[in-house]
Amino acid sequence: MLHRAIEVPYMTTNAAHTKIFNSRPISPLEEMCAYESLWQNQGAWFANLADLFRSNPGAIPSDLVDADRIADTLENLKRVIGEEALSSTGIRVHGAGEYPQKLRDADHPVELLYYQGNWELVETNSVAIVGTRSPTEEGAFNAGLIAHKLVKNGFTVVSGLAKGIDTAAHTAALAAGGNTIAVIGTPLNDYYPKENMDLQKHIAQHHLLISQVPFLRYKDQNYKTNRLFFPARNVTMSALTQATIIVEAGNTSGTLVQARAALAQKRKLFILESCFRKTELNWPARFEKLGAIRVQNVSDIIGLLTDDQANTARQ
């Protein structure tokens, strides 16, 4: 195996001097390969991976995977996504560096995130705007208006780069000269829907693109299974933001996953009045009972968000 060890760049060592640290130093690439290896196991999903890390407190992915397997995964990754894409992929891993502690509020916190762009945006005041992929004209207009107002009030607009409400929110945030974060349901090197490829590339270059989807696992699975990554990313999007705004959504929309997550994570959940007016929808009343806030207009939202900040600042 020696030949392989030499080929593997930028992996941690067990050099004697590392004893000066309380825990083994990490190499981001090594952690990414180890994490991808864990996802290669049959049945791996966010819930059981979170359990695995819960039962191994303080462990990082490379503590749980053999070195040989990590090396194999690195070769696979180089083949599948290419060395250049690999080197432009940033990761955040629980236990080191700039991993955001707010992710731990999720039911099954992700141990590792992939990103491209300006990571510091994660620390800005941010609000998620989400909703249906096939909005009414009014819905799309509202998403854009809210994004615009949020930007003008200093918030970063977070959404999922899907068709419809998501696209309207990102686009309006950019048009208003603001910052936006996209939390996507595909790996960083994939685009869904395809027509948002340019938008995704722009966000990765000038803003922040985040994914929790492992490259190799996604590649190995069919569309049907990969679809599950979309609602999973809504849980992460909620954890990363201080509030979620639902602009428009049907009774079976994946957006409702984010509504549940926001309440479970003690984030604010805003639902537009227009959703309540649609009598065929049962979820607005249901979530209102659980703690969601019904809002008449954009000023309400801004008011409730900035009151919050004033309170925090006084503490």
Nearest alpha carbon to residue 233 among 216, 251, 254, 205: 254
Site for other proteins in 123-182 (CB under 8 A): 123-124
Smallest separation, CB 291 to other proteins (Å): 28
Q: What single letter denotes the amino acid at residue 215?
A: F
**Residue 206 sits in the site that holds other proteins (CB under 8 A):** yes
State in angstroms the smallest separation of the CB of 200 from other proteins: 13
Task: Determine, following the binding rule CB under 8 A, whether residue 23 of this chain makes contact with other proteins.
Answer: yes
Cite the DSSP H helix spans in 176-282.
197-206, 215-220, 223-226, 229-240, 255-264, 273-277
Looking only at residues 77 through 116 of this chain, which bind other proteins when binding is defined by CB under 8 A? 88, 95-98, 116
**Number of residues engaging other proteins in binding (CB under 8 A):** 36
Q: Give min distance, CB of 11 to other proteins, in A.
A: 9
Grouping H, G, I as helix, E, B as strand and the rest as coil, residue 295 is strand
SS (H, E, C) 274-294: HHHHCCCCCHHHHHHHHCCEE
CB 173 within 8 A of CB 196: no
Token digits for 21?
């640290």
Task: Using the minimum distance from each CB to other proteins, give the nearer residue, 91 or 285.
Answer: 91
Among 4, 10, 79, 290, binds other proteins (CB under 8 A): 10
Using rule CB under 8 A, residue 28 touches other proteins: yes
Residue 255 burial (CB < 10 Å; 0-12/13-18/19+)? Answer: buried
In the complex, the smallest distance separating the C-beta of residue 207 from other proteins, rounded to whole angstroms, is: 9
Interface stretch with other proteins, choices 18-26, 131-139, 265-273, 291-299 (CB under 8 A): 18-26
Per CB under 8 A, residues contacting other proteins are: 9-10, 12-13, 15-17, 19-29, 58, 60, 88, 95-98, 116-121, 123-124, 204-206
